[in-house]
Chains A and B, each alone.
Chain A
Amino acid sequence: MSKQIVRVKSPEEEELEKKRAQLAQLESQLAERELDLATLRAELAAFERRYLRVVGLRYAQLDELEAEIAEYFAKRQPKDVEAQQRAHSARAQARESTEATGEAESFDETEAFVPSETLKRLYHDIARRMHPDMTDDPEEKKRRHSIMSEATNAYERGDEARLREIFSDWESSPETVKGEGAGADLVRVIRKIAQVERRLQAIAAQISQLGESELQHLKTQVDEAGEEGRDLLAEMAERLAGQIDEARQRLSELARTEEHQ
C-alpha cells in the first residue's frame, strides 16, 4: 500500500483552478459562437449572390431600358430641363445596378450555404484551438489571426480539404512562460477571460446587426415563402420580366414612331 500525499492548495492556486475552468468553458462557447457567426455570414453571402443572379440582373436590365427611354426623350427635347434630369438620373441608376450585378452572371441561381456537419466540426475545432483571443502573445496573436481568416474563407467556400490542412499544420507553440508561480498565472488567466468575453460580446453584436440587416430581412421572407412551397425570388423575377417586356415594347414603339417621322 503506497502512501499518498495530499498537497494543500494555496488560495491563489484554488482561485487559479476556478478561473481556468471558467476560461475553458468560455473558450468552448467562443468556438460555438464563431461558428454561428461564420455560418450566418456565409449564408447571407450565398443568398446575396443568388439574389443578384435571379433578381438583381433583371433590375439592371430594366434600369438599362428605362435609361434608354429617358435618354430618347431627352434627345428629342433638348430644351426640356426636366427631361434632361430624368435621363441623367435614370442613367446613373442603370450604372449603379449594372455595377452591383457585374459578376452576377457567373453566380449560381440555386446557390445556398448548407454546411455539412464535418465542415462545421472542423471550423469549430480550429476556432477552439487557434483562436487569437486565447493567447496573449502579440506575435502569436498575429499568426493565429491570419490562420482564422484563412479558415473562415475556407469555411465559407465549403472547402473541407483546406480546413483539414489548417488543422493538421497547426503546431501549438508553447506559451512563453512569463512570471513564476500561481499568482502570475492567475493574472494571465484573468486577462484571457476578459479577452474572450470581449470577443463574445463583439460576436453577439455582429450577429444581431446582421440579423437586422436588410439582406437578412429579405432572406427571411424568401425562406418563409419557401416553407410554404413558394419560390419568392422566382416570383419577383417573373414580375420584373413582365416589366422588362413592357419597357422593351415601349422602346421599340418609340423607335418605330421615329422612323415614321
Chain B
Amino acid sequence: MTRDDPTNPNPLIPWPHRELTPQSAALVRRGLDDLTQAKATADRIDELAAALYRISTDPRACAEAAMSIIELGPIPNLWQGKPTELLWALVITVRNSYETGTDTMRSLLGDDYPGKPGEQLRRLLMRALVSLVGPIADPADAVIAALKRGKLGTRIEAAGWLGKYEIHKAAGRLRNALDGSTDVVLTMVLRYALAWLALEDPDRVYSEMVQHAITSSDERLRDRCRYHLFDPPRWVSADTLGRSIRLLAAHEDEQLASLVTYLLTYAFSGSGEASPGTGPTIPLDHCSDPVLDDIISVAFEAFLCDSGLLDRHQGVDPTDYGRVRQIAEDWWHSTGRVSGESDKERGLVMLYRRLVQMIQTRDTRAGRDRHRTPDTPSPRATHATHELAFSYLRRGQLRDAMREYREILRERPEDGTAHFNLGQALRQTGRFDEAIAEFRHALALEFSTDSEAHYNLANTLKQRRLLDQAAAEYREALRLSPALPDTHVKSRVNLGGVLQETGDLDGAINEFRNAVRLAPDSPDAHCNLGGALNDKGEVDEAISEFREALRLRPNHDLAFVSLASALASKGLIDEVAKLVGRSPD
C-alpha cells in the first residue's frame, strides 16, 4: 500500500488504556451475580408486599404472604430499601387489621386461624415481622424511614399514613420533605398529612384537593386527590365538607359519585360514630343552614338513584323536606328485602338513615328558630341563654353552642364560664388557636386556681403541638389537684407524654412512675411507662411493664405490639413466638 492509495485504512490504533485484568473481571462478575440473586429476593418481597397491601379486600392472601415471609426467613442486609418497604407494608397491614371488619375476616380465615380472626392475623403478621427484621423499635419508625428514603410512590404513601395515624413525631420530617418536594402529588399529600396533624389549614387543603379531583389535567394528581378525599382530615369543618360534597356531586363522574355517597354516609354523620376503615367522622350538626340544604338535596338525589326510585319521583323539590322524608320512609317500610348483605345495600341503608337524620336536624333548627325572640335579651333571658348554650354543648351541637355563648359574651364580656365553654366548643371543632385564647381568658377571669381548667388548656396546647406551654399547664394542674386523684393522674400521664415527645425521657419516666404508683391497676399507665423506658434503652424494665399492662388487660394492642418489639430487639425470638402463640418452627 502506498501512501497515496485512497483505500489505505490508516491502521486505527487507539491510544493505549488499561484493560480490566481477568482477575478483576471475575470479581466484577461475582458482584453482579450476587446482586442478581439479591434482586430475585427483592422481587419476591415486592410480590409479598403487594399481597399485603390487599389486606382490606383479601385477608387470606395477606395471611399467606405473612406465612411466606416466615418461610423466607431473615433477609440479608442487601437491598436495604426492600425490607423497609416490606416492613412498612406489614405495619400498614397490622394497622389495617385493627380496622378491617371482623366478619369478613372470620368468613375468610375460617377454621385455619381459630380464635378472633383479626387478632390471629395480627399475631401472624407480627411474627412474620419479627422473623423478617428482628428488632424494631416502633412501627411508626418504619413508616418514617419509608418517607425518608423510599421511592417516590412509597414516600407519597408514607406521608398519607403518617397524617392519618397522627404520628406527630413525623411532623418535622413531613415539613422537611415538603420543603424539598418538587413533585406536585407528593407536595399535596404532604400538606394533607400536615392537615391531619392540624399543622396546615385542613379546610384549605381539603378544598384544594376537591378542586384537583374535579379539574386537574394531571392524572396522577387527580387520582391521588380522589383517593385521599375519602378520608377528610379530622379537623375539616362541617361546612367545608358539605360544600365539597356539593361541588363533587355537580360532576357527572362515576368515581366522584361513589365518593359523594361515601362522604354522605360515612364521613358526614350526625351521630359521630366511627366509620369503618377511616378516622373520626364529622358531626352533621356543625353544618350551617345553606350548606345543610345543599347536601340534603345531594343526598336525596343519590338516594333516588341508588334505590331505583328516580323515575317515579323525578322533579320532586328537594327542599320540600316533608315530602322528601315521606318518600324515603315509604321506601324503607315497603322493602323488606334490604338485608344489608351486599356493600351496595349496606350503603343504601346508611344513606337512607343519613338523609332522615339530615332532615331531622333541619326540622329541629326550623322549630328552634320559630321560638327565638328577636328582642334584646333581658338579664333573665341571659341566664336562660346560658342554660340553652350548655345544653347545646352537651349534646354536641357546637355551632349553636358557640352562637349562644357569643351572645352571652356580647352582654357580659367578663363571663369566665362563657369564655371557657366557648373554648370547649372551639376546641371540639378543631379551632385550637381560638380555643386557647378563650381558655386563657377564662383562666385569667375566674379559673386561675381550677386544676380542671388548666388541664383542659394543657390538652388543647398539646393538640396544637405547643409542647412547652402544655407541660407548664399540666404542672399547674398537678400543683392544684392533689385532692382530685383523677385529674392528678391524668395530668401526670399527659405531662409524661409531652416530656417524652420533647425528648426528656428521664422526666417522662419520672411522671409515668408517679402515675403507676397512684394508679397501679391502670394498664395504660404501665404501657406508657414501658414505652418511655424502652425509648431510654431500659428494655428489661420496659418488658416487665408491658407484661404487667397485658396482665391487667390481655387484649391491650399497644402493649402487645410493644412487648413483641421489645423482645425482638433483645433477640428473644422464642419469647416472641411464645407471645404470638406459635412455636418457632
Chain A interface residues (CB < 8 Å from chain B):
41, 45, 48, 51-52, 55-56, 59, 96-97, 99-101, 133, 136, 138, 141, 145, 148-149, 152, 156, 187, 190-191, 194-195, 198-199, 202, 206, 213-215, 217-218, 221, 228-230, 232, 235-236, 238-239, 242
Contact = CB atoms under 8 A, between A and B. Distances in A.
Nearest to A100: B23
Given A136-B3, A228-B149, A236-B78, A152 B23 contact: no
B23 A202 contact: no
Nearest to A206: B14
B274 interface: no
A202 B3 contact: no
B31 A55 contact: yes
Contact of A202 (B6, B12, B27, B80): B12
Most buried by B among A100, A149, A199, A206: A100
B35 A229 contact: no
Contact of B12 (A45, A191, A199, A228): A199
Contacts of A191: 6, 8
Interface string B1-35: 00110101110111111101101111111111011
B77 A221 contact: no
A45 B35 CA distance: 20
B413 interface: no
17 contacts: A41-B17, A45-B17, A48-B28, A51-B28, A51-B31, A100-B27, A133-B10, A145-B13, A187-B6, A198-B10, A198-B12, A214-B25, A221-B35, A230-B149, A235-B78, A235-B79, A236-B35
Contact of A56 (B6, B14, B27, B149): B27
A238 B77 contact: yes
B21 A242 contact: no
Given A190-B6, A229-B149, A99 B23 contact: yes
Contacts of B32: 214, 217-218
B81 interface: yes
Contacts of B21: 99-100
Chain A, interface SS category: helix
B121 to A, nearest CB: 31
B18 to A, nearest CB: 7
Nearest to B17: A41
A5 B36 CA distance: 73
B394 interface: no
Contacts of A55: 27, 31
Interface in B33-54: 34-35
A201 to B, nearest CB: 9
Contacts of B485: none
Contacts of B4: 187
Contacts of A236: 31, 34-35, 78
Contacts of A213: 20
Contact of B16 (A138, A141, A149, A202): A149
Interface of B: 3-4, 6, 8-10, 12-18, 20-21, 23-32, 34-35, 76-81, 149, 151
B339 to A, nearest CB: 50
Nearest to A141: B10
B6 A149 contact: no
Contacts of B80: 230, 235
Contacts of A156: 17
Contacts of A136: 3, 10
B24 A48 contact: yes
Contacts of B79: 235
A221 B36 CA distance: 10
A81 B386 CA distance: 100
Nearest to A133: B10
A202 B14 contact: yes
A206 B30 CA distance: 24
Contacts of B23: 96-97, 99-100
A211 to B, nearest CB: 15
A134 B15 CA distance: 15
Contacts of B30: 59
A101 B78 contact: no
Contacts of B17: 41, 45, 152, 156
Given A41-B17, A191-B6, A100 B24 contact: yes
Contact of B28 (A194, A215, A228, A232): A215
A26 to B, nearest CB: 15
B81 A59 contact: no
Nearest to B34: A236
Nearest to B35: A221
Contact of A198 (B6, B9, B76): B9
B551 to A, nearest CB: 38
A59 B76 contact: no
B47 to A, nearest CB: 20
Given A100-B26, A100-B27, A214-B25, A239 B16 contact: no
Contacts of A239: 34, 76-78
Contacts of A195: 10
Given A138-B3, A202-B14, A242 B20 contact: no
A30 B249 CA distance: 63
Contacts of A232: 35
B10 A242 contact: no
A130 to B, nearest CB: 12
B27 A52 contact: yes
Contacts of A41: 17
Contacts of A238: 77-78
Given A100-B27, A199-B12, 6 more contacts: A41-B17, A52-B24, A141-B10, A152-B15, A202-B14, A236-B78
Contact of B81 (A199, A228, A242): A228
Contacts of B77: 235, 238-239, 242
A57 to B, nearest CB: 10
B137 to A, nearest CB: 20
B29 A214 contact: yes
Given A198-B9, A218-B31, A48 B20 contact: yes
A202 B29 CA distance: 26
B14 A194 contact: no
Given A149-B15, A198-B12, A218 B149 contact: no
Nearest to B13: A145
A67 B29 CA distance: 20
A141 B9 CA distance: 13
A145 B14 CA distance: 8
B76 A242 contact: yes
Given A228-B149, A238-B77, A59 B27 contact: yes
B145 to A, nearest CB: 11
A47 to B, nearest CB: 10
A145 B26 contact: no
Nearest to B150: A228
A152 to B, nearest CB: 5
A99 B24 CA distance: 8
Contacts of B31: 51, 55, 59, 218, 236
Contacts of B15: 145, 148-149, 152
Leading 10 A-B pairs by shortest Cβ distance: A100-B23, A149-B15, A100-B24, A229-B149, A99-B23, A239-B78, A56-B27, A96-B23, A100-B27, A214-B28
